[in-house]
Amino acid sequence: MHATTPINVDKLAWELQRHPDRYFVNSLLNGLRKGFFTGVSSLPEKVLECKNLLSTTKCPDDVSGLVKSDCRNDLSLWHKFLDQWNGISFFIDDNIVNASDFDLYTDAASTVGFGGYFKNRWFQALWPVEMKLDTELSLSMAYMELYPIVIAAIIWGNEWSGKRILCHCDNLATVLIIKKGRSKSLVIMRLMRRLTWCSAKYNVIIHATRVAGKYGPFSSTVSDSTSGTLSLPAPLRNSVELSCVINHLWSKSINSATRDVYTSGYKCFLKFRTSQFEGENIGNVMSNISEDILICFVSYCQSVLGLKYSTIKLYLAGIRHFSIANCSVNPLVDNVGKPLLRLQNILNGIKKTENKSMRQKLPITYSLLHQIYQHLQKGIFDPHLDFTMSTAAVIGFFGFLRCSEFTCKQSFDSALNLTMDDVVFVSDCQVNLRLKASKTDIFRHGVIIKLFKTNYNICPYVQLSKYVTSRKMNCATDNDPLLVDSSNLALRRSLFIDKLKTILSHLGLNADKYSGHSFRIGAATTCSSNGIQDHMIQTLGRWKSDCYSRYIRTSEVDIRQALLKMCK
């Protein structure tokens, strides 16, 4: 550290060289050169730095959203308070009432309820149904321990006016939250705002201290760790960046369609438990899920809700998914990791008793594809949409594609859906179609569909070549959708199915018996009718098991020809 001054110290030293008090001169010159001693210690101070500084710089939008939301909630609290404030305020005299003169004792049990004790009076209650349905609330022990303290402030707050109250709690996380007056948990902050409101309304100061449990000072370790707030070091707990990454990776572990089904099953299970077990001390509905409860649930789904075996299996998978996420427990296995045998037998019974559905979708074979193609060539819709429908039908058939692989469900996503740069012309007779996402490619490695010239009227190579050329003439870029509708928007699944059924109706067919999957079914059926070997059908359709056989529809003509060959 250097001292600076506008005075020319060397010139001043020359002018003061005849000064009689040399001690004064030396002190003055040294002070100007090195700084004067002020008597204040220059000990290094602790740098005050935001714990979320790294997260703020790397995830500014996420942090900004959280800050804005919290600030609005905090400001709304004080706006509400100022509307009712009488304008009177005063400081509590420390000598009048000590904190220990008024004691409040509260406790909470995650599987039962909560209670509080103050001056020979008490209250107790079971957890509200809303908390059982809210996973984030029902799994936070710090929230549960804070809950009865807030209830006590609401009930007895008017008796605490102008005084101090000391809350005795066996959860260290809750004690620290009350001392700081804040928490990183948004749901806990809802309670803290209510507690702050009571404190301001009744002019009371609330303190908290931790009490040892029945088995000593460490008896509530499990209770503390349940909330997850003390199981990690502070830098990890306060990292918004890591939290965002963890949540993002967890959400990406399953696709959106599977997540929707799992969520439906999870909500169905929560409603079942809260309705069928009303009045019982079940507390956290995701804890202590026994085999008997699961058996009752699947029986309820089959008998009351009328769900099929396949749907019930997906609902159980959803329960397992959310239980692992919230409790790190798989409820579908026993203590040694083996499947629950009684539950498996009940599921087998459901599978055997349900009626087999015979509503199989019909295939769009090559002959029917030819009719569709010719009909579109004559013109049904506008020329642009006719061209798109023809291309979609051709690549859907020859590529053994699922409808979701060449259309988008709702909004277009260049990271998942077909784009212009996914079409690569390898040679004058081969074109590759890259699928960035598909049903069996769960890790999104990508799949290459190889298409070749057929030298027939319907040729995937020629059709794609013409269509890509047309799209590029309309200034389409590499990241634009490959298949577009009349408005130059990505071809949606619903639009494609609707227009396909219109075409089939024009051909005099029952459109309800066909779907977007009919192209894939028709491709497998056509291959089987033409004698193509099973392993080749499996390869073309990208099937990893013999389930491809379920896609093959055997016609009466094929059966008749097979019987005639038996007579030779």
- Cα-Cα-Cα-Cα dihedral of 184, 190, 192, 196, to 10°? 140
Q: How far does Cα 345 stand from its chain's mean position?
A: 33
Three-state secondary structure of 327-390? HCCCCCECCCCCECHHHHHHHHHHHHHCCCCCCCCCCCCHHHHHHHHHHHHHCCCCHHHHHHHH
> In the block, which residue shows the tokens 């073309």?
540
Question: For 221-251, b where at least 16 C-beta lie within 10 A, e where not — what string?
Answer: eebbebbebbeeeeeeebbbbbbbeeeeeee
Tokens encoding 91: 């400081």
Q: How far apart, in whole angstroms, are the C-alpha atoms of residue 475 and residue 287?
A: 57
Residue range 481-539, pLDDT digits in tens: 999 998 889 999 999 999 999 999 999 999 888 988 888 888 888 888 888 888 888 88
Inter-residue contact 519 to 364 (CB < 8 Å): yes
Average pLDDT, the chain: 78
- pLDDT at site 221: 38
Tokens encoding 12: 């001043």
Q: Which structural domains are found in the chain, ordered by start? A: 1-35 (no CATH), 96-210 (3.30.420.10), 246-278+285-353 (1.10.150), 366-559 (1.10.443.10)
Alpha helices in 399-487 (DSSP H): 403-406, 460-473
Q: What are phi and psi of 126, to 5 degrees?
A: -80, 160
Average pLDDT over residues 560-566: 61
The string of DSSP codes covering 511-537 is: GGG--TTHHHHHHHHHHHHTT--HHHH
Residue range 338-378, pLDDT digits in tens: 888 999 999 999 988 887 665 678 889 999 999 999 999 98
Helix (H) or strand (E) segment spanning residue 103: strand 103-108
Mean pLDDT check: name the lowest of 298-302, 456-460, 519-523, 554-558.
554-558
User: Does pLDDT of 15 surpass 70?
Assistant: yes
User: Does pLDDT of 390 surpass 90?
Assistant: yes
β-strands 423-425, 121-126 pairing? unpaired
User: Does pLDDT of 402 surpass 80?
Assistant: yes
CA 331 to each of CA 299, 308, 338, 551: distance values in angstroms, whole numbers, following the listed order: 17, 21, 11, 35
Residue range 32-62, pLDDT digits in tens: 777 665 444 444 445 545 555 555 566 666 6
Q: What is the pTM assigned to this prediction?
A: 0.50
Alpha helices in 171-231 (DSSP H): 172-180, 186-202, 221-226
Q: How far apart, in whole angstroms, are the C-alpha atoms of residue 530 and residue 183?
A: 69
Inter-residue contact 530 to 374 (CB < 8 Å): no
- The region that residue 304 occupies, defined by phi over 0 for left and psi between -120 and 50 for alpha, beta otherwise, is alpha
Alpha carbon distance, N-terminus to C-terminus of the chain:
107
Q: Which residue has the higher pLDDT, 80 or 250?
A: 250
Q: How far apart, in whole angstroms, are the C-alpha atoms of residue 146 and residue 206?
A: 12
Q: How far apart, in whole angstroms, are the C-alpha atoms of residue 551 and residue 525?
A: 7
- pLDDT at site 61: 65
Residue range 276-296, pLDDT digits in tens: 665 444 445 566 788 898 999
Inter-residue contact 139 to 286 (CB < 8 Å): yes
**Closest CA relative to residue 324, chosen from 373, 363, 286:** 286
Average pLDDT over residues 381-408: 91
Residue range 147-169, pLDDT digits in tens: 999 999 999 988 888 788 888 88
Q: Which residue has the higher pLDDT, 130 or 116?
A: 116
- Cα-Cα-Cα-Cα dihedral of 253, 258, 263, 266, to 10°? -90
Mean pLDDT check: name the lowest of 87-101, 183-197, 314-328.
87-101
